[in-house]
Amino acid sequence: MKIIRRIAWVAVGFTYFLVALGGTVRVNDAGLSCPDWPLCYGRPFVFPNIRTLLEESHRYTASIVSILIVALAICALLWARKERQVLIPALIAPVLLVVQIVLGGLTVLWKLPPEIITAHLATALAIFATVITIAVMAGQPSPSQEHPAQTRRFLRLALTTALLVYGLMLSGSYVVGSGATFACTSWPLCGQTLPGMARLGDINTLHRLIATIVGLVVAWTLYTAWRRRQVAPGQARVAVAAALLFVLQSLIGGTIPLLGSGSLHFGSISNQDAATFMRGLHLAVASAVWGLLVLLAVLAARQLRAAPQGAELERLEATEAAARESVSPLRQTISGYIDLMKPHVTVLLLGTTAAAMAIAYQGLPPLGLTVATLLGGALAAGSANAINCYYDRDIDSIMSRTSRRSLPAGRVQPRQALIFGLALGVASFLILALFVNLLSAVLACGAILFYVGVYTMWLKRTTAQNIVIGGAAGAVPVLVGWAAVTGTISLPAIWLFAIIFYWTPPHFWALSLLIEKDYEKAHVPMLPVLFGEQETRKQIFLYSLLLLAVTLVLFAMRAMSYLYLAAALILGGILVYMALRLLWERHSRRWARTLFWYSNCYLAMIFAAMVLDRVIFH
């Protein structure tokens, strides 16, 4: 394993250099300095100018990376066949390499189409992540001093953050490829766009908005990693480095439009040369952020493999219980009321609401309207969740997953929780009615009533189809967002609703497989409790297929273009594959946990693809 680890770390260095060099080639317009491929003007060595040198250096670096990846695959087959955490990424890397080589050739032969360039970068970053995974997993993990549930939670956060940075980098790649780099004349706000570049200004602004959201998630990841520094000091240091580099690359990105508009100068260096340098540096630093976040996630995954068991796990649980009791009463009360609103659920709902607004507006809607809609939506979701916690406090106290919630734990009294939930609902209706429109307010209020009255009080305790029908409440936020922009509900909005409606069963049933015993103790008739695990796995697979079909309707009705079609096929295909593995592996719940986590990412990514599609092609 030592030789595999050493080769992998060498591959990490060369792959990073390859990505950074590719960015330099791109910003210097050197991609077509060699008009043919794989040779340059029919010869292996031609250096007539600096651009040709850059392009050929990029190709030769890619050759070195290719040799290292093939060597890793061979070594893994020889010496790591039983180490799946090493063998699987080592076999995936050559497949990605073939795709990368084909995309590199098409980039040149098809004269630098932005979509192919973006796909080329996406594959290179995926290869970078794969070799990092091999390098880390080939090492031996140290014994973990953290509860595995805490490690698993941080692993999910780190993976989510890394994927968001991945999407941010791809959106930045499209900004460059579409010619939108200098469409905005100021930073951090876009200010005025150049004449005739309004659409490109929207593309640039969307990238900045994504960067802001991702920056907040990176900050939360840093905060969480720093709190864990006693049990995972190495991960804390990696998170600090990633956060600092994220800030640095944001500042570098801010200099680019200022240089383009002439608002910033670097002495005797021309603004064009300075902007070119900054654009290359921007990608290089962003690639380092991506690599560090992948490293953070893989380190957490390796730590999870060494999680404590038996008596050591019981000791950790007792220590955590004592720590929770030592928290001040005021802090417990505040966190208790926040917990009633289920913020981890609300964030995803607000994301789909904002996406629906951008899709309906075919660009970025006014800031004031967006803030009012999201605030009203957050209060509506918090209201429904708080009243749900009030009504379900009896079964929440029985289920181990929910026994630490505010009401079962005694941090909030039932009557106060009910008043809090009702007050949030009233505030939501007033904000939406006064600052958005009446239709949005009525829809949000209707979602509260449906979630509480139909799902919580009736369906949840009476039928195995509870989550299928009750899932309609979670799909209403897209209608709220659409109505906020248009004042009406049209057919595309109905299909956005349908996507979330059909997404809910596989998402929630995957969770129900993991906590089946809880539902059985509480006498909640979830699907695996009444019909067994195998029927649940079958239904997850069927609903995943149905969800894939529903997502394609938006393309069929010409509401979306080929960019969305590609995203829907890839993301839906991954979901169907995971559901199929869950169906095949009857005696394992590993894929249930993976599918549950991915389904959250899936919903966020497919709505992000819709927004990109409408901003770019409206």
Same domain membership, residue 123 and residue 2: yes
- Give the pLDDT band (50/70/90) at residue 193: low
What is the tens place of the pLDDT at every residue in 495-549? 999 999 999 999 999 999 999 999 999 999 999 999 999 999 999 999 999 999 9
Give the pLDDT mean for 80-91.
Answer: 92
Boundary (domain end) residue, out of 100, 120, 140: 140
Least confident of 5-19, 76-90, 104-118, 435-449: 104-118
Residue with tokens 């921007």: 282
Residue 311 is predicted with a pLDDT of 60
- Asked if residue 180 is part of any domain, the answer here is yes
- Asked if residue 135 is part of any domain, the answer here is yes
> Is 11 within 8 Å of 62 (Cβ atoms)?
no
Same domain membership, residue 176 and residue 120: no
Averaged confidence pLDDT in the chain: 88
User: For the chain, what is the domain count?
Assistant: 4
Boundary (domain end) residue, out of 465, 488, 511: 488
- Give the pLDDT band (50/70/90) at residue 158: very high
* 28, pLDDT greater than 70: yes
* 259, pLDDT greater than 80: yes
Measured in degrees and rounded to the nearest 5, phi and psi for residue 193 equal -90, 155
* 126, pLDDT greater than 80: yes
Residue with tokens 């073939």: 98
> Is 278 within 8 Å of 24 (Cβ atoms)?
no
| Residue 242 DSSP SS3 | helix
- Asked if residue 314 is part of any domain, the answer here is no
Give the pLDDT mean for 165-185.
Answer: 84
* 322, pLDDT greater than 70: no
- Least Cα distance to 4 among 55, 64, 72, 61 occurs for 72
Would you give the DSSP letter of residue 40? B
Q: What is the DSSP string of 78-105?
A: HH-TT-HHHHHHHHHHHHHHHHHHHHHH
Least confident of 265-274, 363-372, 381-390, 554-563: 265-274
Would you give the DSSP letter of residue 459? G
Question: Is the bond preceding 38 in cis, omega lying within 30 degrees of 0?
Answer: yes
pTM value > 0.85:
no
- What number of residues does the chain have? 618
Q: How far apart are CA 501 and CA 358, in angstroms?
A: 20
- Asked if residue 323 is part of any domain, the answer here is no
Residue 413, sorted as left (phi over 0), alpha (psi -120 to 50) or beta, turns out to be beta
- Greatest mean pLDDT range, 57-66, 476-485, 587-596: 476-485
Residue 111 is predicted with a pLDDT of 66
Percent of the chain with pLDDT over 70: 94
What is the tens place of the pLDDT at every residue in 564-578? 998 999 999 999 999
CATH number at residue 494: 1.20.120
Residue 500 is predicted with a pLDDT of 95
Tokens representing residue 422 in the block: 């009702």
pLDDT: which is higher, 316 or 244? 244
C-alpha distances in Å from residue 127, one per residue of 124, 240, 290, 426: 5, 24, 12, 50
List b or e across 321-342, with b for residues whose CB sees 16 or more CB atoms inside 10 angstroms. eeeeeeeeeeebeeebbebbbb
Residue 386 is predicted with a pLDDT of 95
Same domain membership, residue 561 and residue 455: no
Same domain membership, residue 290 and residue 159: yes
Residue 315 is predicted with a pLDDT of 65
- Asked if residue 319 is part of any domain, the answer here is no
- Asked if residue 317 is part of any domain, the answer here is no
- Least Cα distance to 428 among 414, 415, 412, 442 occurs for 442
| Residue 326 DSSP SS3 | coil
- Asked if residue 280 is part of any domain, the answer here is yes
Residue 112 is predicted with a pLDDT of 65
> Is 206 within 8 Å of 612 (Cβ atoms)?
yes
Question: Bridge partners of 184?
Answer: 193
Residue 328 is predicted with a pLDDT of 61
Give the pLDDT mean for 487-495.
Answer: 93
Same domain membership, residue 96 and residue 169: no
Same domain membership, residue 155 and residue 89: no
Same domain membership, residue 184 and residue 126: no
pLDDT: which is higher, 564 or 177? 564
Give the pLDDT mean for 160-175.
Answer: 89
Same domain membership, residue 481 and residue 450: yes
Same domain membership, residue 501 and residue 482: no
Question: Bridge partners of 43?
Answer: 40
- Asked if residue 60 is part of any domain, the answer here is yes
Question: Bridge partners of 126?
Answer: none
Cβ contacts of residue 362 below 8 Å, gap of 6+? 614, 615, 618
* 323, pLDDT greater than 60: no
- Give the pLDDT band (50/70/90) at residue 395: very high
Cβ contacts of residue 81 below 8 Å, gap of 6+? 87
pLDDT: which is higher, 413 or 267? 413
Q: How far apart are CA 531 and CA 527, in angstroms?
A: 6
Same domain membership, residue 409 and residue 300: no
Boundary (domain end) residue, out of 88, 121, 140: 140
Q: How far apart are CA 142 and CA 183, in angstroms?
A: 50
Q: Which domain holds residue 30?
A: 1-140
Give the pLDDT mean for 318-330.
Answer: 59
Percent of the chain with pLDDT over 90: 55
